[in-house]
Amino acid sequence: MKPSFIPHSDYQAFILHHLRTSYGPGVILINKDWPLAVKLWMADLSAITTLLRDEYSDQGPEPRDPASLFRSYLILLMSNPTMGVTEWVNELKRTPIYAILSGFSPDDLPGVGTFYDFFGRLWPAVDKNLRPILQRKRKGRKKGKKGEKAPTTTPGRVERLVKWMMRHADNQTALPADRLFHFFQSQIVAVSAQFGLLGDLSAISAAGDGTPVVTSAYPRSKPTCDCRARGIADCNHHRLYSQPDCSSGWDSARERYFNGYHLYMISAADSKHDLPLYPRLHPASRHDAVSLVMSTVEFKQRFTLGAVDKMLLDAAHDAESIYLLLEHQGMEPFIDLNVRSKKNITSTTASDIQISPTGIPICPNGNPMKPNGTDYKLHRRKWRCTPACGCSTAKYGRTFYTKTKDDPRLFTKTPRDSEKWKLTYKRRSSIERSNKREKIDYKLESGRHRSTMMWYMRMYGIMIGQHLDAWYASQKDAWDMLKSHICPAIA
């Protein structure tokens, strides 16, 4: 039968009743459990019952409260992120406080299958993976260098992908993780926005970057033929992959190959708590630029809480087609310049003026021209050589204009050498800190999952934990003042 809707106020009353019954009228909590209890007290997860109501049958026994199951999974990630669901069910039996904070009576706890049945209802797709498990044997990839991102395997791939995405930007394709994102955006990110933790919603600055997620030591697959038994060592038959959405990639930081995903994350750059906004799991072999193109289009189609005004990216995204895509989406790109060549290029507007790899005009005498003002309305900059240079007979000297429309990569709307550009781009490191929290603090890679469905569950659970941490940190002083009244034992 359909699950019964339990308001958040009823959950709060349940918590107080059971804590007082089990731990005394003063509600005794240890210091470690106090922040956890406050975060769950603040987080209203009851809307997930309404979201999943149609996924339950009209007949049969009454199901477990979906909000309590999801709340319990969040407690797992916030308290014991290295545990699996099976271990967590045993932990609920050993530690009644976790059961009570989840919304369960300590003598009536769900089983392991109940949790996985709940996860399946959050994933509307039939398959738990995005790609079929039956695939041909994958080829190895060329080893990368320290500090270098994995290169794109096909020249011009980013440009072709951008053109295709721009043509189909209005056609939103449903993704299996959309249900998770809808709940995350409407019930978690919206609250963070109300608390003022995302910055100015009318002009949000977002930052994007990719990071490797290791899921196993090597690709696991089984043959579907008997070629090896017949002495054929190398065949081209399909194999059964246990993690079909994963692939092998080069981790430049660890200087080794890994098998898993390439997680591309978009976060709120102006957030003091480096809060995440949108995750996307890609194959490990995918380049940051390709991942950005797909992720930013999906994010733009789904994000409804404000207008993304700026996108902050590192030098791995420095491609002219990406500038065009972001401009098409109404975002101003702030991308670090990746100087690929040391040669000057000839200007398209004046044959005797050349442009350096960093976008500075070079006069016919070979001298770099000096900036002489910016017209922000027309998005152009004025450059000047003084009469002492000798490249012009004019009394004022030689002047030259660079326009954003001529080369959006070199001639950005906000000049790269301006103080505004430097202050804005300085916030790009927020995405690095956000990824660090997910991988180090919440131990993202400790998940022992074989399906993309469960990796998305873990990813969104961790992201919700990051937001709950920010809620608590922003109101910590007020909650600490109430601590002496609610929990005198830890005052």
For 458-490, the pLDDT digits (tens) are: 999 999 999 999 999 999 888 877 766 655 544
Distance CA 4, CA 24 (A): 30
Enter the pTM of the model.
0.90
Helices and strands in the chain, H and E counts: 16, 15
Structure tokens at 196: 């003022």
pLDDT of residue 391: 85
When pLDDT is cut at 50, 70 and 90, the band that residue 387 belongs to is: confident
Distance CA 344, CA 31 (A): 62
Which residues are CB-neighbours of 487 under 8 A, at least 6 positions away? Answer: 26, 27, 28, 29, 34
Distance CA 246, CA 433 (A): 25
Which residues are CB-neighbours of 343 under 8 A, at least 6 positions away? Answer: 357
Q: At what angle do helices 85-94 and 112-121 cross, to 10 degrees?
A: 130
Is the pLDDT assigned to residue 377 strictly greater than 70? yes
Residue 130 CB coordination number (10 Å): 17
Mean local confidence (pLDDT), 400-422: 90
DSSP classification of residue 457: H
Residue 397 CB coordination number (10 Å): 19
Nearest to 119 by CA among 443, 448, 452: 452
The residue ranking higher by pLDDT, 343 or 105, is 105
Domains within the chain, CATH numbers bracketed? 8-122 (no CATH), 134-337+425-473 (3.30.420.10), 345-415 (no CATH)
- Min mean pLDDT across 66-80, 116-130, 422-436, 471-485 is at 471-485
Structure-token match 């070979």, residue found:
366
> What are 335-375's pLDDT values in tens digits?
998 876 566 777 766 568 888 888 899 988 889 999 988 88
Distance CA 332, CA 140 (A): 37
The backbone region for 347, taken as left when phi is positive above 0, alpha when psi lies in -120 to 50, beta otherwise, is beta
Q: Where are the alpha helices (DSSP H) in 80-156?
A: 85-94, 96-102, 112-121
Nearest to 353 by CA among 302, 388, 416, 399: 399
pLDDT of residue 491: 38
pLDDT of residue 468: 97
Percent of the chain topping pLDDT 90 = 58
